[in-house]
Homo-oligomer: A and B are copies of this chain.
Amino acid sequence: MAPALTRRAAKERTRKRLITAARDLILSGHETRLAASAVAKRARVAGATFYEHFRSRDDLLKALADDLFDELREKLAKSRREALAAPSNEEKLRQEFQTPLDVLAANPDLFRLSLRVRHYPASPLGDSSRRLSGNTRGDVVEELVARGYPHDSPEERRRLEMIADVHIAATEVLALGYLSGRYPDLNEVADMLVLVTHGTRLARGWRG
């Protein structure tokens, strides 16, 4: 008789169960350490089974971190592509803030996790979150270049990074304020972010 599940499929299924369990635990925000035993328990497998799928706790964390932050980066990138579809330039600028804001607001657990682990030293989660930050900065710099900001000299490129950092930090802090209930209106938040660009774009005139 044919088996209900091939070994390969069953193992894949268990692995997914473990990753999903880990994901749920870490996104809940209560777990700081994410113990292998807790993951196994939640996935309803024995502790030893965990080590059939991952060499160590850190091995799972690495897989999980890539999983989570690649997902967030993909969502943010998609939202930016959508923003480019806006008709006018002014509207495009606004959408370039509005759509990432929507993504962060729609994924509060993931967003909060990325903030929480960003400064973890020597942790797969920290590494992955910092990689996401670096990538995002690069993406925003590209937007600035597309909007006509000068990027020929190293000084100019450094300034673009500064501007991108400011825009991202402002977006994140206001998104967090929205999630915590302090700023109830995302449109107002987007308006504020557009104003920030009215300041930072004055740096286009700098010499040096």
Contacts and interface: CB of A to CB of B under 8 A. Distances in A.
Interface string A129-167: 000000000000000000000000000001101110110
A196 interface: yes
Contacts of A14: none
Interface stretch (A77-85, A87-95, A115-123): A115-123
A202 interface: yes
A197 B199 contact: yes
Contacts of A197: 199
Given A120-B116, A192-B200, A169 B162 contact: no
A203 interface: yes
A172 interface: yes
B120 A32 contact: yes
Interface residues of A, number: 40
A72 interface: no
A170 B32 CA distance: 28
A168 interface: yes
Nearest to A31: B121
A182 interface: yes
A22 B172 CA distance: 32
Contacts of A191: 203, 206
B192 A203 contact: yes
A107 to B, nearest CB: 15
A192 B177 CA distance: 23
A149 to B, nearest CB: 13
19 contacts: A30-B121, A30-B122, A112-B119, A115-B118, A115-B119, A116-B119, A116-B121, A159-B192, A162-B177, A162-B183, A162-B188, A163-B192, A165-B174, A166-B170, A169-B169, A169-B173, A192-B203, A195-B202, A196-B200
